A and B are shown apart, each in its own frame.
Chain A
Amino acid sequence: MAEMDTSSSGGHKKGPGVKKGKKLSTRVDLTPMVDLGFLLITFFIFTTTMSQPTAMKLFLPKDADKPEDQNKAKESGVITLLLGKDNNVFYYEGQLDNSASNFKSSNFHDIRTVLLDKKSRTPEKDLVVILKASSESTYRNLVDILDEMSINVLKKYALVDILPIEEQLIKASEAANAPSASN
């Protein structure tokens, strides 16, 4: 069953004038092998260049002890971004109101529009972005937001410790937004 009888394929019979069966060539078709070879080459080329990690530089300022040494920023040019948990971003411009009415919520996708909007409204030398990460935010959030600074070419930004009041505000608004966020 597994073997086929080839001697009388198609019912042909070797007539008297028919030559003997050709000698089978020893040549093998190498095309699939070449295909495979080049496929592997492309694979190796791509994997080697892609795995090169990059590094983003961060320069830390020296902690200034005296308040008069600290950098001053114009209130109108300041936007503060707060990183919460679950990739939430909150922001306010200038100083935080007592009633927290200028405290707005956003996310990593929309924050670019917010930053560009602020950038277009503010003279370049006054614009300062203050980044405050809460203890619930992740390292990824931080790198993302620093990345956002370089994507939007914001040259002045500072990483500042979060204030307890801001942390509370984040918690409160996260709790308030939780039901709508789950939709």
Chain B
Amino acid sequence: MATQHSRMAARVMVAPSVGLLFVWMIVPLVTTIYFSFLIYNQLYPDRQGWAGFDNYYYFLTDRSFLEAIWNSIVLVGGVLIVTVIGGILLALLLNMPFWGQGIVRIMVIAPFFVMPTVSALVWKNMFMNPVNGMFAHIAKAVGLEPFDFLGHAPMASIIGIVSWEWLPFATLILLTALQSLDSEQQEAAEMDGAGRLSRFIYLTLPHLTRAITVVILIQTIFLLSIYAEIAVTTNGGPGTATTTITYQVALQSLYDNDVGGASAGGIVAVILANIVAVFVMRMIGKNLDA
């Protein structure tokens, strides 16, 4: 019934929601772009006026900028590697029949429901604290020196915390994909002489590519904006060891009160995120076809 008339009617009917979504997106974006060209520092209310591209210039030439980009890449990449590999292994495990399967599945999903600030605090104080943390106690119990995770391996520790939060998501999506794997295919491969490992490489992994793509795409979007875990645990430190682009922007606006500079940083982050998105879509998006 896609006549000229009904198509017109459909457009008129969806117009309000499309318009609302457009305004929803465009207003904050335009405001940010506007601020990024202003001299706007809350500590110096007397200094006002157009800044031109100065905010961008200072943000991009700041020596911590390249470091922040690198930190972002390490954080996102590290968490992706851990969650995809760990997610596949966990999904394979959970897909096997065992007693108490239902309860275990719910428990595996549980970390996803814990708020990022809360889970970061729990990890920081209950597990990784070099004096009172569980890991410190375990180390002392077996006669080892307690390790100061957040002091000596800050990025790895944050990757660990964020991976713990996102592993359930990856596991859940990959488990659903695993369950749709055709059992007759597996049996056919078994008769064709494929062992467990060959079946995993030639059947299971290709079957999972689409789910893995979804996991990587969605997680990349959310991981680029990680803020709470860094703020709660290391505050971007020690030094600038865990300052990502997102955290750099937050530092500029919250600690330096430089709204103009932070806005410029935000726009830079948006542009970088879009470049990453295009790149990722090009690279693995073709798996979503067919």
Real complex partners, A and B? no
